[in-house]
Structure 1
Amino acid sequence: MPARIEYRLIGAGWAMCDVTVGDLQATVSASYLGDALNELLGATLNALKGTRYSVARFCDEPGEYRFVLVPEGAFVRVQILEFSEIWSDEPDDFGEVKLEATSGLREFAEAVLSAAREVLNTHGLEGYKENWRKHDFPLEAMNNLSRALRGGTLH
């Protein structure tokens, strides 16, 4: 199923992320207490490299959303789980499922990359830092994902 991701800063220290896979959709929020966009880019790159289980955490005072990416050949199983406590170490099974779907791995990675580029185009490096406060824009992670997608053979 095709994937679409929209990540937007919504004020000082807050972001919203809309994830659509096929007909399924979830919207989650993130606080600057974590580095959500950087984690999402990194987890996606790991999935492209064949890592069997990759996670990105979105801190949402007081809770947490956990993106779980499990590659399955040319596809990726995407789960978004919600936990009541921030930095939760609870097993995935304890989370409330907000989205569970399968997408083409490359399509999902391209959707994540597109979302990151849109944030950079909208805010620039300085504007991102001004809004996100504790973290710089994850330029290196975005470039690493871009290179991996251009590089050809992926798992």
Structure 2
Amino acid sequence: MGASKEALATAECPVARAVDVVGDRWSLLIVRDVFDGLCRFGELQRNLGLSRNILTERLRTLVAQGVLETRPAADGTAYHEYGLTEKGTDLFAILVALRQWGEGHLFAEGEPHSVLLEVDGDRPVGKLEPRDADGRPITYRNAYVRKVSHESTGAPG
């Protein structure tokens, strides 16, 4: 049986906590669309093809978690818009990594897909690569996770 939502929110693992906040496909696609400049409920709904109730719930959660914020519409109308907070903009690298993984593994050779380009020069964004403290590339083969020691925290083992 999987971990409960409450267990993920208090997990010692940063990946588990992150997945608790943005781990469903709709939340990440909403954040992607806000990065792409869609900021109104109707725009997001049209682009995602998502039902009102699911979009409302995901937006509510992303705002409550501090990933998005609501603000008055830029055009001065009574509507509001969704914008990324600092916490939300920090998801950019995650979305780039997912995009690059998808480009490398989910498209046939020569199959067209959207491309992330640099504003200056219209060049494709370079491949993301984890690096060690000295700037050298690092993989799962030369990295490990140090688990929280229950003895040092006094928590039951």
TM-score range, shorter chain: 0.3 to 0.5
Q: Which protein, 1 or 2, shows the higher relative CO under an 8 Å CA cutoff with sep ≥ 6?
A: 1
Taking structure 1 as the reference length, the TM-score comes to: 0.34
Q: Which structure has the highest helix share of the two?
A: 2
Higher gyration radius (CA) = 2
Q: Which structure has the highest strand share of the two?
A: 1
Taking structure 2 as the reference length, the TM-score comes to: 0.33
